[in-house]
Amino acid sequence: MSLYKETSMGAIFQNRVREYGDKTLVIFKNNTGAWEEISWNKLNEMVLDLAKFLIARGVQPGDKVGLFSPNRYEWWVADLAIITVGAVNVPMYATNSTEECRYILDNSDAIKCFVGEQEHMDKILKAKERLPNLGDVIIFNDLEQPVAGVVTLKNAIKEGRAAANGEEIDKRIIPIKIDDVATIIYTSGTTGNPKGVMLTHNNFVSNVNQIYAVDPVEFGGDHTFLSFLPLAHSLERTVGYYLAIFTGKKVAFAESTEKLLENFTDIRPTFLVSVPRIYEKVHSGLLAKMSTASPIAKTLFNWAMGVARENLPYICQGRPRTGFFALKYGLADKLIFSKIKKTLGMDRLSGAISGGGPLSVSDAEFFLGMGIRLFEGFGLTETTPVTHTNTPKLIKAGTVGPAVKDTIVKIGEDGEILIKGPQVMKGYYKNEAATKEAFTDDGFFRTGDIGEIDKDGYLKITGRIKDIMVTSGGKNISPQNIENSLLGSAFIEQAAVIGDNRKYLSALVVPAFAALERWAKEKGISFTGRNDLIKNPDVLKLYEQEIEAQMKDYARVEQIRKFRLLEKEWSQDTGEMTPTLKLKRKVIQKKYESEIEVMYPKE
């Protein structure tokens, strides 16, 4: 029997602890390099002790508490403790700067802050000089020497365990109202300061139930998730964390994105939540590897990819394979697909979600064809985030599926996707003007995305209003679809379309260098480095042909007329990508201004 009404994730967690007890909840790599398991009961001991620490240190319901750390199980412990006492979690991306953290902690009125490692502690302590209301800083890692105003998590848990306030836990969980704010997530604004999105307990509980309802059979299985997307982002928070808690699943924490492939093969997850960039890299990496394989291996691989294309109607429509095709698919799986999946650590993967940005059709079909059910979905931080997802009965690559239950969707006069549902945010913290602007007069949330709905109710995203380019000839162009098509080339790693107020479209292209270098060696092209390689006439001709091939279905005005190859991949560290691996267009345009101008000579 449940202890609490399931009106908050803190209450849901307590109910699941009672249900699953000593079963494994999380898996992490410890200091000795071994994978270690923590049970539901053990994690809950930490949560309750930390909750008692927060109560003893004066945290009241509604108080704001910052959380600045990479993904790790302690992030969960801190979050669950915060929401269990009725406080509000204010997460920050682990890559945020000192000033970004200072603004968020100041704007949110945070009174305490959890940090992961020393670099995060140092940033917060520096910011704290201008944050008079910020009290304790609690660090997950141990410290060699005590630091004034900083408490280690180990000591916080010890202090909480000794506090005689255990009865306060019930007094905090039970009164939590479903419409109370659970978190404030600050959107990474491209202009001006970020806005604090207020998500309630109802937003999270509703969205978890909405996602579960898409496929109760899938989510009813004995799954192991792999956590690597930032927990500060609502996609990982809701789907990779709260959904796992809600459905009683195990979650392994990846060490880092650099060790992701290694962690995949260690953990062999059965369910995956990711942004498109990971699927893109896996697909392009395999194609690059096959480009230098033996003729026999290439022939076998190409045959298997043909079988994969034939498999699309079966997996996308949930139809069983029969007859001769079933035999042919079984052979392709035995010879090629199973080996690829085992190498990637995806041999146990029964389902995968892609969100946070558009996934190219070629990337989606690559995984679908091999028998991995890949569900592309859609949502925003302001919608907790999921509003749409493909379903097991019908997967349509290139769409984000139908709306999840209890969600009303309509297309505005300007093509904007408008949403109404229980997962839509309460508003922006201390920003009534922005909140009012975000909603229509009849209460629909303005997504800022442009889309169309087909006869089956499946939504296709065709662009983002703020990204729309208007050529000097007055044509409106959405760059995202074109960029996704360009990524269909095995030789293109990243691309940004340029064309706002220009006579024609051009593109900045980051080559898939592994594939390009192999191709160059096969062709006998000598080069001293990447910069030398991308200037080679034969290489430029290759990319001209690749771009032309990917653009064949586009109108004349949408064709890429000129392009520039770049020698360095874009990343969050170098500033061109957001923490969720989306392009920062303004940064790219400013950083590569000279390269862009070369493509538009003065007449």
If asked whether residues 456 and 357 sit together in one domain, one would say: yes
- For residue 95, the surrounding DSSP H or E stretch is none
Residue among 376, 378, 349 nearest 365 (CA): 376
Say what the pLDDT of residue 193 is: 82
Residues 367 and 503 in one domain: no
One domain for residues 377 and 484: no
Residue with tokens 């999840």: 404
Q: How many domains does the chain have?
A: 3
CA distances from 187 to 179, 236, 429, 559, 581 (A): 21, 15, 12, 33, 14
Q: What is the CATH number of the domain that holds 131?
A: 3.40.50.980
Kindly report, residue by residue over 194-211, the tens digit of the pLDDT: 999 999 999 999 999 999
497 and 458 in a common domain: no
Average pLDDT over residues 564-592: 89
| Residues 413, 495 within the same domain | no
Is residue 162 pLDDT above 50, yes or no? yes
pLDDT of residue 321: 97
Within 13 Å, how many C-alpha atoms sit on residue 243's CB side? 34
Q: Does 194 reside within a domain?
A: no
- Separation CA 138–CA 128 (nearest Å): 13
Residue whose structure tokens are 């802050």? 113
pLDDT bracket for residue 290 (50, 70, 90)? confident
For residues 36 and 62, membership in a common domain is answered with: yes
In a domain, 214, yes or no: no
Asked if pLDDT for residue 190 goes beyond 80, the answer is no
Q: Convert the pLDDT of each residue in 113-153 to its tens digit.
A: 999 999 999 999 999 999 999 999 999 999 999 999 999 99
4 found inside a domain: no
The answer to whether residues 502 and 451 belong to one domain is no
pLDDT in tens, 334-360: 999 999 999 999 999 989 999 988 888
**At 345, which CATH number?**
3.40.50.12780
Range(s) of the domain holding residue 382 = 264-422+438-462
* 472 lies in the same domain as 377: no
C-alpha span between 585 and 199 (Å, rounded): 28
Q: How far is CA 548 from the centre of its chain?
A: 31
Of 469, 521, 519, nearest to 492 by C-alpha is: 519
pLDDT (0 to 100) of residue 573:
84
Helices then strands, each counted (H, E), the chain = 24, 25
Whether 217 maps to a domain, the answer reads: no
pLDDT given at position 430: 96
Q: pLDDT digits over 496-528, tens only? A: 999 888 889 999 999 999 899 989 998 999 999
Q: What is the rounded radius of gyration, in angstroms, for the C-alpha atoms of the chain?
A: 25
Residues 377 and 486 in one domain: no
Burial of 503: CB neighbours in 10 Å, binned 0-12, 13-18, 19+: exposed
Domain boundary among 135, 155, 176: 176
Instruction: Name the residue among 579, 218, 225, 185 with its Cα closest to residue 383.
Output: 185
Q: Residue 513: its pLDDT value, please?
A: 92
Average pLDDT, the chain: 93
Same domain? 444 vs 478: no
The answer to whether position 60 is within a domain reads yes
Same domain as 383, residue 275: yes
Task: Establish if 308 belongs to a structural domain.
Answer: yes
355-359, 427-431, 469-473: least confident range:
469-473
Minimal CA–CA distance to 76: which of 113, 99, 46, 37?
Answer: 46
Q: How confident is the model at residue 180 (pLDDT cuts 50, 70, 90)?
A: very high
Q: What confidence score (pLDDT) does residue 191 get?
A: 55
Percent of the chain residues topping a pLDDT of 70: 99
Query: Is the full-model pTM beyond 0.85?
Result: yes
pLDDT in tens, 525-571: 999 999 999 999 999 999 999 999 999 988 888 999 999 999 999 98
Secondary structure (3-state) at 135: coil
pLDDT surpasses 90 at 221:
no
The answer to the question of residue 516 being in a domain is yes
Average pLDDT on 362-386 reads 96
pLDDT of residue 8: 96
Report whether pLDDT(1) > 50.
no
Given the structure tokens 């800083």, which residue do they identify?
137
Which of 87, 12, 14, 11 lies closest to 55, judged by CA?
87
Residues 6+ apart with CB under 8 A from 179: 200, 201, 202, 426
* Residue 294 domain flag: yes
Tokens of 576: 């061109």
Domain termination residue (choose one: 158, 176, 194): 176
Cα angle for residues 429, 434, 437 (degrees, 5° grid): 140
| pLDDT of 49 above 90 | yes
Domain boundary among 176, 198, 220: 176
| Coil vs helix vs strand at 354 | strand
- Closest C-alpha among 394, 365, 363, 389 to residue 376: 389
Domain of 566: which CATH number? 3.30.300.30
* Together in a domain, 456 and 502: no
Tens digit of each residue's pLDDT (9 = 90 or more) over 303-345: 999 999 999 999 999 999 999 999 999 999 999 999 999 999 9
69: three-class secondary structure by DSSP: coil
